[in-house]
Amino acid sequence: MQTQLIAARRALTPDGRLAPYWVEIAAGQSGTAAAETPDAGVGRILAAGEGPPPRTPDLEVRGILSPGFVDVHCHGGGGHSFAEGPQQARQAAAAHRAQGTTTLLASLVTDPLPALRESLQSLAPLVEAGELAGIHLEGPWLSPQHKGAHSEVFLQPPRPEDVADLLSTGTVAMVTLAPELPGGLDAVRQMVSHGAVAAVGHTDATYQQVSQALDAGASAGTHLFNAMRGLHHREPGPAGALLEHGSAFLELIADGIHLHPAMLRLIFAQHAERAVLVSDAMAAAAAEDGDYRLGSLLVRVSGGEARVVAADGTAGAIAGSTLTVGAAVRFAVQEAGIPAEQALTAATANPAAMLGLDEVGSLAEGGRADLVVLDEEFRVERVMQASAWVG
């Protein structure tokens, strides 16, 4: 088998440091072939190690070598949203892939239940083919008090039969819910027993209610601090419970709009091993400013900032971001001063661990050959997915 040796003086090692490192992969294979023949080693990292490479490398990375990015919260990109249908979903995923995201959950915003079911079914072939790592339902089981860019009329408490119905499609990898809604804790247990990540978000829950949800199996906070009751010294709220609970993953939108850089520094200083950089991107990510639809809402993007357009035409709630995870890494390192190895881990190994995926998010031998080559300024230069250069 023909192989390709790639070496870097700075690469994210499987234990989360930046050090000289090399990987050897099967050369010139397509991603699809890889998915079908995993035993042949095609699409995998065949060998890897720290220090100087065993022979002259075929590619010497001048900047930084990272595992492919893993985005657990993404509504669209490249002008398309995941709710539009499979063809548009492929284009959205491709727009993010070109920017380094090689593993992606497609997030769906609140819609009527039949519309959500239809979206889940239409995206099922992409999940089965491995083009999407699964689907993230953000709603409809959210709090009207913190609806953000979700249509209030479709928000509702989680009824067991509705939860069972949507989970039965076999495509749901994660659900964001407000655990204080009637039936919320039972819904958490139901989701976890189906193997889906239950994430607390768009919530007005108290500290105690979120602690109960975490004890019931919830394992993440959706865009920490955004669309949730605030942190107060006498009522620590959802953020207090999520920060304190040792095993909850913390989604962060590092775009300079959703979170002050100081909040990123506070969180990474204490909880870097649980930080997860997400894009929460809507269709305008890796695309132009302009008017877009997010679920049933109109969103106007200006200067990269997305806001719901209210009935009177004024700008309303922030409606996701126009980030990619690569852009979030760059912001975290260059604008917020987060150590590069921590920012990269929060874009790779941490989200992979959050989803329970052990084949991605690391440059270790045996993993999927998903690589991102970054320049010294943390700009994405090249992207490999399952041994194939895709961007």
Contact (CB, 8 A) for 40 and 28: no
Cα 370 to Cα 251: distance, rounded to the nearest angstrom: 22
Beta bridge partners of 69: 101
Contact (CB, 8 A) for 96 and 71: yes
Catalytic residue of the set 71, 162, 280, 370 = 280
The type of residue at 345 is T
Cα 103 to Cα 121: distance, rounded to the nearest angstrom: 20
Cα–Cα separations (whole angstroms), residue 75 to 56, 83, 137, 290, 294: 42, 8, 10, 16, 8
Q: Is 280 a catalytic residue?
A: yes
- Closest among 45, 58, 108, 29 to 361, alpha carbons compared: 45
Beta bridge partners of 192: none
| Residue 227 is labelled as binding a ligand | yes
| Residue 226 is labelled as binding a ligand | yes
| Residue 318 is labelled as binding a ligand | yes
| Residue 319 is labelled as binding a ligand | yes
| Residue 258 is labelled as binding a ligand | yes
Cα–Cα separations (whole angstroms), residue 320 to 34, 168, 226, 315: 33, 28, 10, 14
| Residue 75 is labelled as binding a ligand | no
- Count, residues in the chain: 391
The DSSP output letter for 231 is: P
Residue stretches of the annotated binding site for Zn(2+): 138, 202, 223
Residues with a catalytic annotation lie at: 280
Residue stretches of the annotated binding site for substrate: 149, 226-227, 234, 258, 318-320
Residue stretches of the annotated binding site: 138, 149, 202, 223, 226-227, 234, 258, 318-320
